[in-house]
């Protein structure tokens, strides 16, 4: 118990560290700084002194840059509009207050007419209002690459809300950047000064400054009073779930996209406590550590992309295996990371949390990118977003190949992602497809003693047969219908995912002579695993909004269903011949998952909201074990089983079929709730509780098992701070959490995957800090976790106590003003990403090495061209990305090495990549 107290204290200290760091930045160290914090008035929300609340934008259609105007356009062009918003929230009329020519005026009016608002209100009553809207069109020629604009550092004006006509003016952007800095949106709204409100209409006050994308990503106020960040604001965009508090991260990398990220999975590192390792090679799913969970390749994290699930239920390599390599990083517009199971939308596998990628293409037109670099690496990327279509319409093709560093790390993969997003009346529909192919080799692990004795090199391999062939094909269709007070969403999807994996963690250890086998020596432990998964499913929701207590209240009821048809085998392969000699498993599984949830967002007032609800999950299993009998106590003398793996006899040689079917089902109810409070401007807090479930591996299913899943109970409390210091947006947040899991997963080297273990408890703190200014975007996070087995109090191996991550970028869109005067400003950025991981606990009381990596990227761009040079592992540190401690026998000694020793998978040495990007056509 004292130990627990100590680690709670540590977590508190870690939390305090994060908050103090944030406070130190947010508030000057003057004596009255804290007083000012307390005395800060509650957010004005959107209520003026007369009790009239401004209309709130809930749907926005991006204006389309007039194609006919593009060639002549030089720099940004603004159109000011006066729009009348009805008491029903629709735009009933639009007047041009400041023209920019017919083409631009028409484009702006056409878009704004399709906007929808939560109407202005006087008291409880909705009233008509007039607002002033400024639309800024940035010339395609001056626009920065779409991907840079994607996120965290939003285009200055793009996030500015429409403001009431009588509002005070705000003529500068959120960052004060010049208009040309607005890089990627077809058009952007800004808030220039405007004329007084038209007579006869409510003079709605100005909405408060909206969150920038940077702080929007961390906003935890009960209800955003400003329009959503750019990706959410489009009429076509999906409606995001309201924040669950300080552990809910809506990540929009923004300029941080410049930080070297090897794949889409790496974006996870913007959330605190995330460590990614990979002993499986270029196309193998990243092993994710989140919030004190060794989630391996996704077993404890629910992954999805555009609503389509990524986790593979029943994958023999790991139930919930999630490979995100098929996602083209440049098509990621945002990523929601919910740490902890606090949102009823989170389904199976959301034990540590969930990650949902939102895909789109911000830079319209054609983007071609070619990368060449170390170790024979090349990458060719083509992105196309037709002009006039929304960002949800895109096609991307990504081809990658490398010879890899060291031995046996060659790989090649290709990915195609395409989606069409259209609108018909109140309906928005999306039809998408993906195809992904990967084939690569893997070095696997090395014994530390072999490396120290120079028997192997740091980047060598023991078994060159290790590798993987994986592919993924999916189609999806989605329909969103936006009615006055209701949003209805349905989505269906189908996924095919064949995969073959070959890995050897133990060398020659797991094949001892059994009495019933013919005499043999150790034949080798290479696992040849094949998993063929076909998935169909659907999800949907109905969201109803209304007002009560003078506040908007929301109820969402949703469903999720999927069926997985999985065929999987795992065999051991003889080193000398390459022939399989033993079948470890041969399963054919039909898995069902049906989830229903209800989620409410109840607001008592401007600063207090209760969010949460209940999720019910029904999991069904129908497993045909085609290798049900692998040994017999008393085999037949006349028909001995010999070396066969899947036997057709039982005790004393009695015949039986080698197959056996088992089926079972289990249901779980998972309550989840968050209380979010924000009585002080820029300060909000949250407390939350939630239960998550993880279905079990089909291989563990026994007939009518009572609870075929594991559950996790998580509690947390957090504090979030946001402040604008001059032109710098600063946000910080800190969360204390504790999670108890009744059946945890522990890595088994002999199985090459996580196996079920006992109960566990994790206590810790996650902290983030982000500062965004005109020319920089800095983000850091720090997480401390104390993860122990509940019965023994011993640490859970492999889970790092401390993870620290820093991402930062300096950028300018006007490197050469003279060039800008001629129409094209050069732009550039310098970005860095650094990760520090404290020594990880390993089995048998061992500790791994600390890990520190530093990546760097520099880009310069002009007009349609951009050149980038990135360097990963700048310090060329020879680091151990994955560390283990177990027994293996790679013939390091004359006899089997049977006691646990350190093993590692090598991290990549320094590598340099040069990328040339060309943008053609489209709006910026």
Partner 1 sequence: MRVARSSVLVWLCLTCACSGTTGGQRVVFSAVAVGAAPNFGKTLEFDNSVGYHVTLTRARLHVGAIYLNQSVASSGAQETACVLPGIYVAEVFGPLEVDALSAHEQSFPYDGEGNRVAAKAGELWLAGGDIRHPADINDVSTAPVILDAAGTAEKNGASFPFEAQLTIGENRAIASSDPAYPGANPICKQRIVTPIAVNLTPTNGGKLVLHVDPRGWFSGVDFALLAQSSKNPLLYRFADAPTQAADVSLYGALHSRSGVYRFTWE
436-495 positions binding partner 1, by CB under 8 A: 449
Check binding of 542 to partner 1 (CB under 8 A): no
Residue 494 or residue 758: which is nearer to partner 1 going by CB? Answer: 758
Q: Which of these ranges, 390-398, 481-489, 629-637, 826-834, lies near partner 1 under the rule CB under 8 A? A: 629-637
Interacting stretch for partner 1, rule CB under 8 A, among 110-118, 716-724, 873-881, 887-895?
887-895
Binding-site string for partner 1 from residue 768 to residue 787, where x marks contact by CB under 8 A and - marks none = ----------------x-x-
User: Rounded to whole angstroms, what are the CA distances from 23 to 19, 429, 737, 823?
Assistant: 6, 44, 21, 42
What is the closest distance, in whole angstroms, from the C-beta atom of residue 262 to partner 1 in the complex?
Answer: 28
Q: Tell me: does residue 891 bind partner 1 (CB under 8 A).
A: yes
Q: Which of 513, 702, 790, 878 binds partner 1 (CB under 8 A)?
A: 513
Among 387, 846, 858, 912, binds partner 1 (CB under 8 A): 846
Instruction: Centre a 10 Å sphere on the Cβ of residue 224 and count the other Cβ atoms it contains.
Output: 19
Quick one: 706 or 895, whose CB is closer to partner 1? 895
Residue 6 or 661 having the CB closest to partner 1: 6
752 binds partner 1 (CB under 8 A): no
List, in sequence order, the alpha helices (H) in 786-847. Answer: 817-821
Rounded to the nearest whole angstrom, what is the least distance from the CB of residue 254 to partner 1 in the complex?
A: 26
Q: Is 885 in the site for partner 1 (CB under 8 A)?
A: yes
Residue 512 burial (10 A CB sphere; 0-12, 13-18, 19+): exposed
* Cα separations in angstroms, 53 against 44, 58, 202: 10, 15, 9
DSSP letter (8 states) at residue 350:
T
887 binds partner 1 (CB under 8 A): yes
Determine the 3-state secondary structure of 502 from DSSP. Answer: strand
Beta-sheet pairing, 901-906 with 880-886: antiparallel
- Residues 58-117, interacting with partner 1 (CB under 8 A): none
Q: Does 847 bind partner 1 (CB under 8 A)?
A: yes
**What is the per-residue binding string for partner 1 in 691-730, x denoting contact by CB under 8 A?**
----------------------------------------
CA distance 113 to 81: 11
Among 429, 689, 802, 852, binds partner 1 (CB under 8 A): 802
DSSP-assigned letter for residue 149: H
Per-residue 3-state assignment (H helix, E strand, C coil) for 28-61: CCCCCHHHHHHHCCCCCCCECCCCEECCEEEEEC
Indicate the burial class of 240 (C-beta count within 10 angstroms; 0-12, 13-18, 19 or more): middle
The answer to the question of residue 21 lying near partner 1 (CB under 8 A) is: yes
Question: Is residue 440 a contact partner of residue 325, using CB atoms and an 8 Å limit?
Answer: no
Bridge partners of residue 421, in order along the sequence:
430
Q: Is 200 a residue that touches partner 1 (CB under 8 A)?
A: no
Is the dihedral angle over the CA atoms 718, 723, 727, 728 positive or is it negative?
negative
CB 645 within 8 A of CB 651: no
Interface with partner 1, residue 858, by CB under 8 A: no
DSSP-derived secondary structure for 379-397: EEEEEEE-TTS-TT-EEEE
**Minimum Å distance from CB 793 to partner 1?**
8
Binding test (CB under 8 A) with partner 1, winner from 277, 333, 506, 625: 506
Verify binding: residue 900, partner 1, rule CB under 8 A.
yes
418 binds partner 1 (CB under 8 A): no
**Which residue's entry shows tokens 């000398």?**
576
Which among 11, 65, 70 is positioned nearest to 864, based on CA atoms? Answer: 70
Taking the complex as a whole, how short is the minimal distance between the CB of residue 215 and partner 1, in angstroms? 22
- CA-nearest of 198, 193, 169, 225 to 83 is 198
425 or 519: whose CB is closer to partner 1? 519
Closer to partner 1 by CB, 22 or 306: give it: 22
Cα Rg, the chain, nearest whole Å: 28
Phi, psi of 621 (to 5 degrees): -135, 135
Query: What gap in Å lies between CA 659 and CA 629, rounded to an integer?
Result: 8
**Interacting span for partner 1 (CB under 8 A) from 127-135, 208-216, 515-523, 546-554:** 515-523
Q: How far apart are CA 332 and CA 148, in angstroms?
A: 11
Kindly state the smallest distance separating residue 885's Cβ from partner 1, in Å.
8
Q: Does 269 bind partner 1 (CB under 8 A)?
A: no
Asked if 33 is part of the footprint of partner 1 (rule: CB under 8 A), the reply reads: no
Q: How many residues line the site for partner 1 (CB under 8 A)? A: 69
Residue of 42, 123, 642, 823 interacting with partner 1 (CB under 8 A): 642
Count of beta carbons in the 10 Å neighbourhood of residue 427: 12
Segment interacting with partner 1, rule: CB under 8 A, options 244-252, 527-535, 634-642, 852-860: 634-642
For partner 1, the binding residue among 664, 897, 905, 915 (CB under 8 A) is 897
Choose the binding region for partner 1 from 127-135, 187-195, 376-384, 513-521 (rule: CB under 8 A): 513-521
Under rule CB under 8 A, residue 24 binds partner 1: yes
- Six-digit token pair at 627? 């290798």
Q: Which of 95, 514, 546, 651 binds partner 1 (CB under 8 A)?
A: 514
In the complex, the smallest distance separating the C-beta of residue 800 from partner 1, rounded to whole angstroms, is 9
On whether the CB atoms of residues 778 and 754 are closer than 8 A, the answer is no
Among 49, 68, 518, 817, contact with partner 1 (rule: CB under 8 A): 518
Q: Mark 731-750 with x for binding to partner 1 (rule: CB under 8 A) and - for no binding.
A: -------------------x
Q: C-beta of 890: minimal distance to partner 1 in Å?
A: 10
Which of the residues 809 through 838 are near partner 1 (CB under 8 A)? Answer: 838
| Dihedral angle, C-alpha 216, 220, 223, 226, nearest 10 ° | -20
CB of 298 to partner 1, least distance (A): 24
Check if the beta carbon of residue 467 is closer than 8 Å to that of residue 439.
yes
Strands (E), 790-900: 802-812, 827-837, 841-842, 846-847, 851-862, 865-872, 880-886
The interface region with partner 1, picked from 58-66, 640-648, 675-683, 904-912 by CB under 8 A, is 640-648
Q: Residues in the site for partner 1, rule: CB under 8 A?
A: 3, 6-7, 9-10, 13-14, 16-17, 20-21, 24, 29, 449, 506, 509-510, 512-522, 634-638, 640-642, 750, 784, 786, 788, 792-797, 801-802, 838-839, 841-847, 885, 887, 891, 893-901
């Amino acid at each position: 118990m004292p130990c627990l107290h100590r680690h709670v204290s540590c977590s508190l200290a870690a939390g305090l560290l994060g908050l103090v760091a944030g406070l130190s930045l947010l508030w000057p160290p003057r004596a009255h700084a804290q007083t000012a914090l307390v005395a800060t008035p509650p957010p004005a929300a959107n209520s003026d002194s007369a009790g009239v609340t401004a209309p709130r934008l809930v749907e926005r259609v991006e204006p389309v840059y007039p194609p006919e105007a593009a060639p002549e356009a030089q720099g940004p062009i603004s159109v000011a509009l006066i729009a009348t918003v009805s008491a029903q929230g629709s735009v009933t009329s639009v007047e041009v207050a400041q023209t920019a020519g017919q083409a631009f005026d028409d484009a702006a009016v056409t878009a704004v007419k399709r906007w929808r608002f939560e109407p202005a209100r006087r008291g409880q009553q909705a009233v008509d209002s007039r607002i002033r809207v400024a639309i800024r069109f940035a010339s395609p020629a001056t626009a920065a690459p779409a991907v840079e604009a994607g996120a965290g550092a939003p285009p200055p004006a793009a996030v500015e809300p429409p403001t009431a006509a009588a509002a005070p003016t705000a003529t500068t952007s959120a960052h004060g950047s010049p208009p040309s800095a607005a890089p990627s949106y077809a058009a952007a709204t800004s808030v220039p000064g405007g004329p007084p409100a038209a007579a006869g209409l409510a003079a709605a006050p100005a909405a408060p400054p909206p969150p920038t994308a940077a702080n929007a990503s961390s906003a935890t106020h009960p209800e955003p009073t400003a329009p959503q960040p750019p990706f959410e604001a489009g009429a076509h965009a999906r409606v995001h779930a309201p924040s669950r508090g300080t552990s809910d991260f809506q990540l929009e990398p923004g300029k941080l996209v410049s930080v070297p990220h090897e794949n889409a999975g790496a974006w996870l590192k913007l959330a605190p406590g995330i460590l990614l390792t990979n002993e499986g090679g270029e196309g193998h799913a990243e092993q994710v550590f989140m919030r004190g969970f060794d989630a391996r390749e996704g077993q404890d994290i629910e992954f999805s992309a555009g609503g389509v699930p990524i986790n593979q239920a029943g994958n023999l390599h790991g139930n919930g295996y999630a490979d995100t390599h098929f996602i083209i990083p440049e098509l990621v517009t945002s990523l929601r990371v919910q740490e902890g199971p606090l949102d009823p939308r989170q389904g199976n596998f959301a034990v540590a949390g969930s990650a949902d990628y939102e895909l789109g293409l911000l830079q319209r037109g054609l983007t071609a990118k070619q990368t060449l670099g170390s170790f024979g690496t090349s990458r060719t990327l083509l992105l196309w977003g037709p002009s006039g279509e929304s960002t949800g319409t895109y096609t991307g093709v990504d081809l990658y190949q490398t010879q890899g560093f060291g031995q046996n790390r060659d790989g090649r993969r290709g990915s195609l992602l395409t989606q069409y997003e259209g609108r018909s009346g109140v309906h928005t529909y999306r039809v998408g497809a993906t195809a992904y192919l990967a084939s690569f080799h893997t070095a696997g692990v090395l014994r530390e003693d072999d490396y120290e004795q120079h028997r192997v090199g740091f980047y060598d391999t023991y078994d060159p047969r290790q590798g993987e062939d994986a592919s993924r094909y999916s189609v999806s269709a989605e329909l969103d219908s936006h009615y006055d007070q209701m949003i209805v969403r349905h989505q269906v999807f189908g996924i095919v995912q064949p995969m073959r994996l070959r890995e050897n963690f133990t060398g020659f250890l797991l094949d001892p002579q059994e009495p019933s086998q013919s005499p043999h020596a150790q034949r080798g432990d290479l696992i040849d695993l094949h998993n063929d998964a076909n998935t169909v499913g659907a999800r949907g929701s109905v969201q109803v909004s209304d007002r009560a207590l003078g506040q908007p209240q929301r109820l969402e009821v949703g469903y999720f269903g999927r069926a997985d048809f999985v065929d999987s085998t795992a065999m051991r392969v003889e080193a000398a011949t390459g022939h399989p000699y033993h079948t470890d498993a041969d399963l054919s599984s039909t898995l069902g998952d049906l989830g229903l949830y209800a989620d409410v967002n109840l607001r008592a007032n401007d600063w207090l909201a209760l969010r949460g609800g209940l999720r019910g999950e029904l999991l069904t299993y129908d497993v045909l074990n085609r290798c049900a009998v692998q040994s017999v106590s008393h085999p037949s003398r006349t028909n001995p089983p010999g070396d066969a793996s899947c036997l057709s006899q039982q005790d004393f040689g009695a015949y039986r079929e080698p197959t056996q079917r088992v089926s079972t089902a289990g249901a779980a109810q998972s309550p989840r709730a968050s209380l979010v409070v924000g009585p002080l401007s820029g300060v909000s807090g949250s407390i939350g509780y939630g239960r998550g479930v993880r279905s079990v591996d089909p291989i563990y299913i026994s007939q009518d098992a009572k609870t075929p899943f594991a559950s996790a109970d998580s509690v947390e409390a957090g504090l979030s701070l946001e402040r604008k210091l001059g032109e710098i947006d600063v946000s910080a947040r800190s969360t204390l959490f504790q999670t108890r899991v009744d059946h945890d997963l522990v890595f088994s080297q002999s199985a090459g995957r996580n196996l079920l273990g006992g109960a566990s408890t994790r206590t810790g703190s996650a902290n983030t800090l982000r500062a965004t200014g005109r020319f920089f975007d800095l983000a850091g996070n720090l997480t401390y976790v104390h993860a122990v087995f509940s019965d023994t109090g011993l640490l859970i191996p492999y889970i790092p106590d401390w993870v620290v991550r820093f991402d930062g970028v300096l950028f300018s869109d006007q490197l050469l003003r003279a060039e800008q005067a001629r129409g094209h400003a050069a732009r550039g950025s310098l970005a860095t990403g650094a990760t520090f991981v404290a020594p990880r606990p390993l089995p048998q009381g061992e500790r791994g090495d600390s890990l520190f990596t530093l990546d760097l990227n520099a880009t310069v761009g002009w007009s349609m061209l951009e050149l980038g040079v990135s360097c990963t592992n700048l310090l060329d540190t020879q680091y151990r990305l994955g560390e283990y401690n177990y027994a293996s026998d790679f013939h390091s000694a004359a006899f089997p090495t049977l006691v646990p020793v350190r093993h590692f998978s090598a991290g990549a040495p320094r590598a340099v990549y040069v990328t040339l990007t060309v943008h053609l056509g489209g709006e910026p």
